[in-house]
Structures are given as structure tokens and as C-alpha cells.
Structure 1
Amino acid sequence: MNEIRAITTFVRAAALGSLRRAAVDQGISPQAASQAVMQLEKELGVRLFHRTTRKLSLTEEGQRLFDSVQPALSILSSALGDARRSKEEVDGLLRVSAPRAFGIPVLWPYFEEFQRLYPHVRLEVQFDDHFTDLVTERADVGFRGGPPPSGGSIARRLVPIQLIVCASPAYIERNGAPRGIDDLAQHRCTGYRRANTGKLAQWQFQIGDEIVYRDVPPIVCVNDTEMETQAVLSGLGVGQLGSFNAAPHIRSGRLVPLLTQHVTEYGALYIYYGHRTEQPLRVRTFIDFMIERMADNRAFFLDAAELRAARAPQRGAGGGRARRGLVPGA
């Protein structure tokens, strides 16, 4: 027996004074309505209605049941209506998880734009450098940099993450630019300590078909990609930055890309989520919004032509002019 259907039919029959009217109200046949009420009476072991050919009235037990379940059914009906409307209206709570590194430089401007377009969505953003399990953390949508996320989520690649060696024009003017990977040992360099592991990130270089990893001792080490970018912009040293941080400053002339023949990709930025058919409209709208604005968005990486153009000799280039720690970068 479908107890909710049976109780709903019982309540509508009591309110309308007729099983036939209750059947029409529920979109079922009169026989099905009558059967549902009889099954409910059998299950409870009490008679709920006095029945005559012309009249339907509640027994004492039926009246007590009606008084008890009607408020609960109203709450249930309201809750079901809210759930249905979530598939039709862009409103309600939207939980998003993302790494801190992509917060301000990449994602936040789009979050602001989405909020302006859909002001009835309550956006709750958790910046976390650990991978977020959407089910465990009760998040609707996640972002991740590096390899694609696993664990049953649907992942969509947005933009590549390039690792680009950069320096400011002022640093190159004072200290020259490294001509090769080995020249980095003669320069002041910045470093990034991974927030989730505490380990100093190795520098990565594309050499032929292989990716080579090097330990580059830093003169300045931080655990925040924006702060490392600022250190390089300030001329404190040479840094290997993510393209999402570096590309806008390279295009504006505030940073100079170096060793571009060795640029490598550290995976990509992904958006991931559960099955779309189960998502409220606000979640599906947000996913479509972010994909439309970010998929292959060249604002966050350098294309092949830009990398080739950057290989031209830089003013003051020279690998041996700066010794680590001897020439100030400020």
C-alpha cells in the first residue's frame, strides 16, 4: 500500500465529503480512491468513514486521524512544491568549492557577475586547497586545478594551466635574464610552498617529449600564488607562475616570459558536478554560465604564437650576471 497516497486520498475525501470528488481531485479513478481508503482502514484496523449511498462522514477515529495528519500533509505539500519550483526558478542556496589559488584572479569576477544576474541565488563559496567530495561536503559545484577529478563526478575542462618562468623588466635590467634552465642557479628565484601538503613545489620544464623537474632554492617562499606573483612583479626574483596569474601581466608588459621553449602544462582548471538531470535549475544555470565564460578563455593562458614571440632576446639578457643572494631584487 502506498501510505502517502492513501492518506492523501482520505484527507481529500473527508474535506470534500465524497470519494468521487477526491478521485477527481487526485487524478485517479473512483475505484482506486475507494480501494486506497479501504486498504488504509484495513491497515489501521479501524473504520474511518460512515458510508451511505448519498453521504460520507467521518467516524470518531477518522476525525482524530484527519485532525492529526492534515497539518503534516500541508507541510509535505509545501515542501514538494518548493522542490518542484527549484527545477523551474533560479533561486535558493548554491554551494561552490574552489582552490584559493583560483579565487580572486580567475573565479571571483564571474561569481560577482552571476550574483548580479541572479540576485535570488544565495551563493556560498568555500575556498579550500583540498579536493572537495561534493557529496560529503554537500557542495553543488567544485573547481579543481591539475588532473581531472575522479570519484564519479562529471568534469569539464575549462582552461589549461601553463607554468611560465617570468621576471619583471626591472629585474632583467639589473640582473639579466637566464638563457637556459641551468642559469637559474645564478639568479634570485621565488618559490611556492603547497598549502595542502606544505612541500616546496618543484619547477617543471618541457625538454623534448619529457617533463623535467628541478629543485630551485627560493630567496622568497610563500604559500599563496598571488603573493608569489606580487613578489615577481616587485622585482624580488625570477618565478615560475601559473598562467592564470601570469598571462594578464605578461600582456600588459609588467612581466616578461622567459625560457618559453620549456613551458609545460600542469593539467587544467576543471569544473565538476553531479549528474545534471538531478540538479536544481540554479545549479544547471551556474554550470552553463561558468562554462560559457571560461571554456578556452585566452585571458588565462598564452597561445602558441605568444610563446613563440616571447623567445626573442630580451634587453639585458645574460645568464651569468646575477649570483643568488648577491644582487638585491627590490
Structure 2
Amino acid sequence: LKLTDEGARLLEVAGPALQMLDEILDEVRTSSDGREGVIRITAPVSLGGKVLMPLIRSFRLEHPNIAFDLVLEDLDTDIVQAKIDVGFRIGREPSRNVVSRRLAPLSLVIAATPDYLKRHGEPKNLCELLQHPCTGFRMPSTGRLVPWELNINGEMVFQDVPSVCTVNSALPEVEAVKAGIGIGQLSVYLIREELEKGELVEILPQFATAISAIHMYYPHRTQMPARVRLFVNYVMKSAASLLPVRP
């Protein structure tokens, strides 16, 4: 047996719709009320361990029949194209046609190890800071080196710094600072424990900023699956405790 040209064309056109129908039927079979099944999430790598895993763990204690599929990458993901239920983003608010919720300010502080400060001295002003080796962050999507955000006399200043170790992911930058390679401007939620234990020391606290934020976003849907709505509401109630503005 062999399909006619018309039949092959029909299969090609109808294939995505049939696949979507299969997925819907599978979902209905596994969950009569939408409170079971899988929630697909995309987020930056740095949010996966420090924020999402504690949220998922505590959420599943209340809803053990809901599973999670995480796609962790430091790129802007088209959640509609990728069939993602919920996305998380650091920085600016998502501009695509999605529903966006601001979870918490993204507080940035300048930090170094006590050993580094003992060996090189602690900078007391911007001029002295620029004489020190620093770490840098390069945007994965554009390759652009991100300037530091400094609060100077109540005004936001974007300052290029002398980077001796540039990375394109937040977690390796934290490790670079902890290794004593240089001074870094880091997100508080990533180094809260290190600051509390004294493994890292905040310097020039007057320069600290919180102008950007962590956002949660999801597609516009007239009928969001119950499991996804449960998780979205849970995140809105619980995320603040895991995203401190200051240590």
C-alpha cells in the first residue's frame, strides 16, 4: 500500500493537529480534574537549584500526583513554541505575548572573599574599585558584556569594570568570586548563605541596586490546566521567602 500524493499532503498538514489531539487525550486519560500530570518549566540555570527545587519540593508535598519537567537554559525561550507551561526570567519583563508576574526585586551587591580583601585591600570608592580585578557577566543570547549597575548618589550608573574572568552563566561567576579571582557584582539570592556565613563580604553597600526583577510568565490561556494554575498561585505566595532583597 502507498499513499497518494493527496494523502501524503493531508498527512503532512494534519500531522501537528493530530499530535496535539493525542497529547490532549493523554492528558485527559491521566487526569480527570487536571490536578495530575506534568508541568513543563523553563528557567535560567541559576534559578533551578536555589529557587525552583525548594518550591517544587514543597509544592509536591501538597500535590504528589503532579510531576515536573524542567528545561534549564540561560536563553530566552519561546514557551509557546516549546510547549512550556511556566517560564521564569531574570532581568527585564518578558515582552512576548504572555502573562507576566513580577516575583521579587533582583538585588545586586558587590562582594569579595575575606582572603581577597586581606591580600588586596578593600576599595573605599569607585576609583579604587576600578583598580581591582573583577569578574564579568556576558549575556548568553547576545554575547554582550554586561556593565555593573551602581547606585551612585541616588542615580543609576552603568559602569564597565576591568574583568579578569568573564562568564556567560551566573553560577560560575559566583564560584570565581568565591575562589578569590576578583570582586564581583552578584545577585543576593545566589550568595545569601555565603554572606551569612562570612564566606563572602559585601563591600561598597551604598552601590547596591535592585532595579531589575525575577519574573514568572506563562501563555495566555482561556482554560489553564488546574495543575498549572495551582503551581502559579503557589509560586506567587511562596517565592518571596526564597528571593531576599537583602541578606
If the length of structure 2 is used for normalisation, what is the TM-score? 0.81
User: Take 1:256 and 1:231, find their aligned partners in 2: how far apart are those partners?
Assistant: 14
Q: CA RMSD in A?
A: 2.7
Aligned partner of 1:173 in structure 2 is 118
Aligned partner of 1:263 in structure 2 is 208
Report whether the alignment pairs 1:182 with 2:127. yes
Report whether the alignment pairs 1:82 with 2:39. no
| Worse-superposed segment, 267-276 or 159-168 | 267-276
Q: Give the drift of 1:185.
A: 2.4
Report whether the alignment pairs 1:289 with 2:234. yes
User: Take 1:115 and 1:240, find their aligned partners in 2: how far apart are those partners?
Assistant: 34
Report whether the alignment pairs 1:136 with 2:81. yes
Aligned partner letter, 1:273: Y
State whether residues 51 and 242 of structure 2, in contact with CA within 8 Å, keep that contact through their aligned partners in structure 1: no
Report whether the alignment pairs 1:103 with 2:64. no
> What is the number of equivalent residue pairs in this alignment?
226
Aligned partner letter, 2:69: E
Aligned partner letter, 1:301: V
Q: Give the drift of 1:263.
A: 1.1
Q: Percent identity?
A: 35
Q: For residues 146-201 of structure 1, what are the alpha-carbon distances to aligned partners after superposition, in whole Å with 9 as ceiling and x for unaligned? A: 12223332211111111211011111122111111111222121122222222222
What does residue range 2-81 of structure 1 map to in structure 2 within 5 Å?
79=25
Report whether the alignment pairs 1:236 with 2:172. no
User: Take 1:182 and 1:81, find their aligned partners in 2: how far apart are those partners?
Assistant: 60
Aligned partner of 1:159 in structure 2 is 104
Q: Mind listing any 5+ residue stretches in structure 1 that lack a counterpart? A: 1-74, 307-330
Aligned partner letter, 1:131: D
Q: Give the drift of 1:116.
A: 4.6
If the length of structure 1 is used for normalisation, what is the TM-score? 0.62
Report whether the alignment pairs 1:217 with 2:167. no
Higher relative contact order (CA 8 A, sep 6+): 2
Q: Give the drift of 1:298.
A: 6.1
Q: Mind listing any 5+ residue stretches in structure 2 that lack a counterpart? A: 1-20
Aligned partner of 1:150 in structure 2 is 95
Q: Give the drift of 1:287.
A: 0.8
Aligned partner letter, 1:280: P
The higher radius of gyration belongs to: 1
User: Take 1:278 and 1:119, find their aligned partners in 2: how far apart are those partners?
Assistant: 22
Aligned partner of 2:4 in structure 1 is none
User: Take 2:57 and 2:26, find their aligned partners in 1: how far apart are those partners?
Assistant: 31
User: Take 1:124 and 1:84, find their aligned partners in 2: how far apart are those partners?
Assistant: 16
